Amino acid sequence: MITVTEATATAGALRRLTDQGVSIWLDDLSRRRIESGNLAELVRTKNVVGVTTNPSIFQAAIGSGEGYEEQLADLATRGVTVDEAVRMMTTADVRAAADVLREVYDTTGGRDGRVSIEVDPRLAHDTRATVAEARQLAWLVDRPNVMIKIPATKAGLPAITEVVGAGISVNVTLIFSLERYREVMDAYLAGLERARAAGADLAGIHSVASFFVSRVDSEIDKRLTLLGTDEALALRGKAALANARLAYEAYEDVFAGDRFTALSGARANPQRPLWASTGVKDPAFRDTLYVEELVAPGTVNTMPEATLDAAADHGDVRGDTVTGGYAQARADLAAVERLGISYDEVVEQLEQEGVAKFEAAWDDLLAAVTKSLDSKGVDGE
């Protein structure tokens, strides 16, 4: 049981983060986390106001079997397919988490209190199937505070427009490049324009754009280390922050522009930047690096629990660390390019790897659920 004093002490840095206009979301979900009251406790004590999920998260949660035994037995008895079983379990978790966060959703006017669930990653390059899956997921979860995650692939862009145009809130995921990020914002605005033309209330449509951070450093720093020069080594840990800061500059530009101004008159909401992949992978760096150095108003930082705990314990939140750094960010990325490391090549590789990793996690999840259903005497195929 956490006392008021303990909660205040651990949440100090997180409270300062919130006060700076950063919404803290948890990048994790499991049935045990929901049923034990842990998620509700994080909302109470650590300023958590949203949840993101992805295929890897569900693979870890459901693959363990913990908390899913009764539902798996029921699904096996019904003889459902493995794909149906997975969707029934994942949407049940998201629905329950959305109920935990409903009060946050209500008090923030829908800005926060959101829980995200991703379309089947195997559909990442199929626009029509992505749209159909997004509609189905929104119907299955049946909560106003759900966000449907759509990957920022070329095929995903028109899907974003169509889904937003249908009045469904969207979390656009797997964004690595600045060019693709601008295409994502354009797709969102096109969706809002379509929704407005259909007579929808734009105030009820929200979106975030998940810009991935640590994976950029992981790939670029690997290449810098191979070069091994003093100049190259001095650039480690800088590219991801530079990329994210320039993304925020693009966000400011687009949502201060005439196109969004016309939509805001119809009560449209800006698509907030969400910093994803914020767990630090290099032990040489401070474990709160991607929290402390990406503080800016109107953003979301979705953190794995280890990063959330680290930020609560020793986070140094010293105000906005983004908006004054655009010139330096451009200089850092230019310095990387001068060393022969292609930005375009890296971000394209990361997008392809990101989709592939989620597909692999989904396949692993399907295999684990198939095994569970088979063990109960029912063919999961």
Contacts 24+ apart (CB under 8 A), 282-288: 282/217, 282/218, 282/221, 282/236, 282/237, 284/236, 284/237, 285/237, 288/314, 288/315, 288/316
What is the residue-wise DSSP string for 246-279?
A: HHHHHHHHHHTSHHHHHHHTTTPPP-EEEEE--S
> Which pair of structure tokens corresponds to residue 227?
């070069």
Which alpha helices (DSSP H) does the chain contain, by range? 4-10, 12-19, 31-35, 38-45, 55-64, 69-78, 82-100, 102-107, 127-141, 156-165, 178-197, 214-227, 230-234, 239-255, 258-264, 289-292, 305-314, 326-338, 343-375
| Annotated catalytic residue within 46, 149, 222, 281 | 149
Structural contact between residues 209 and 271, judged by C-beta atoms closer than 8 angstroms: yes
Structural contact between residues 350 and 176, judged by C-beta atoms closer than 8 angstroms: yes
Dist CA 338 CA 141 (whole Å): 48
Q: Is residue 149 annotated as a catalytic residue, yes or no?
A: yes
Nearest to 188 by CA among 160, 210, 166, 209: 160
Other Cβ atoms within 10 Å of 319 Cβ, number: 10
Nearest to 87 by CA among 67, 126, 117: 117
Amino acid 165 reads G
Tell me which residues are annotated as active site: 149
